[in-house]
């Protein structure tokens, strides 16, 4: 059974640009969550999607957005990149959501110059 | 006060010893608690979850929960060098799938 797949794995952008990250959940999983991981702040919740609906959102500015498609694949977008957006962005999937047994992808490491 | 607090470590133990990792949380209404292990450069992987007060054992791992004290711990018996990693405590927050993570405790097991 394939795990959670995230693309791209690594990317470098400059300030002001935008970026789109993709996540394919484990087959059959309908909930997709996104987290930002930085050395100083640890793992911070961005948002969660289920059946194409955003059910929960963390305390991030509106530059961070996401969506989920009918096949449960998800994308997140960060516009007007800032240096502080440099981080590992982790996607996690679960069957239904709400019970916390998340399965993480390998992450997309974003560097903003 | 952080929602989930862990000692950053590193916690150093010799091979074969018991490693004790601790976590406190602030939301008294929290119901679900998780321990994830993260190797350097890798993504977190779920080790254990616990919902009820008391102990839950799985192989060499034991999770302990005390809701009255808002305290969760993870014991690793017979620690191995391969257990060297960062251990993340996570608590289910309000709403769907919002896991609130501690910043993790780095464990070093020396041969």
DSSP structure string for A20-87: EEEEEPPTT--EEEEEEEETTTEEEEEEEEETTEEEEE-S--TTEEEEE-TTS-EEEEE-S--GGG-E
* Residues in chain A with pLDDT values less than 50: none
Average pLDDT over residues B15-43: 93
Q: Cβ–Cβ contacts within 10 Å for residue B2, how many?
A: 12
Angle CA(B103)–CA(B55)–CA(B98) in degrees, nearest 5?
40
How far A107 CA lies from chain B's nearest CA (Å)? 7
- Return d(Cα A50, Cα B103) in angstroms, integer: 27
Is the Cα dihedral A4, A106, B73, B1 positive or negative?
A: negative
B46–A103 C-beta distance less than 8 A: yes
- Per residue in B79-103, pLDDT tens? 999 999 999 999 986 666 688 999 9
Residue to mutate among A42, A51, A52, A91, with most B CBs inside 10 A, is A42
- Per residue in B56-74, pLDDT tens? 999 999 999 999 999 999 9
């Amino acid at each position: 059974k394939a795990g959670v797949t995230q693309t791209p794995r690594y990317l470098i952008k400059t300030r002001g640009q935008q970026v789109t990250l993709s996540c394919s959940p484990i087959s059959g999983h309908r909930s997709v969550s996104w987290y930002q991981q930085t050395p100083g702040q640890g793992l911070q919740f961005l948002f969660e999607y289920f059946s194409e609906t955003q059910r929960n959102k963390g305390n991030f500015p509106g530059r961070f957005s996401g969506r989920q498609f009918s096949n449960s694949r998800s994308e997140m977008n960060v516009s007007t990149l800032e240096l502080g957006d440099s981080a590992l962005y982790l996607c996690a999937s679960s069957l239904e959501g709400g019970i916390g047994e998340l399965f993480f992808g390998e992450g997309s490491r974003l560097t903003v110059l | 006060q952080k929602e989930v607090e862990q000692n950053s470590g590193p916690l150093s133990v010799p091979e074969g010893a018991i490693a004790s990792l601790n976590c406190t949380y602030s939301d008294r209404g929290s119901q679900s608690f998780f321990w994830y292990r993260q190797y350097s450069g890798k993504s977190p992987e779920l080790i254990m979850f616990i919902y009820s007060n008391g102990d839950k054992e799985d192989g060499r791992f034991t999770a302990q929960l005390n809701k009255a004290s808002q305290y969760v711990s993870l014991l690793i018996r017979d620690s191995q060098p391969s257990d060297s990693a960062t251990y993340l405590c996570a608590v289910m927050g309000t709403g769907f799938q919002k896991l609130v993570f501690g910043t993790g405790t780095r464990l070093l097991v020396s041969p």
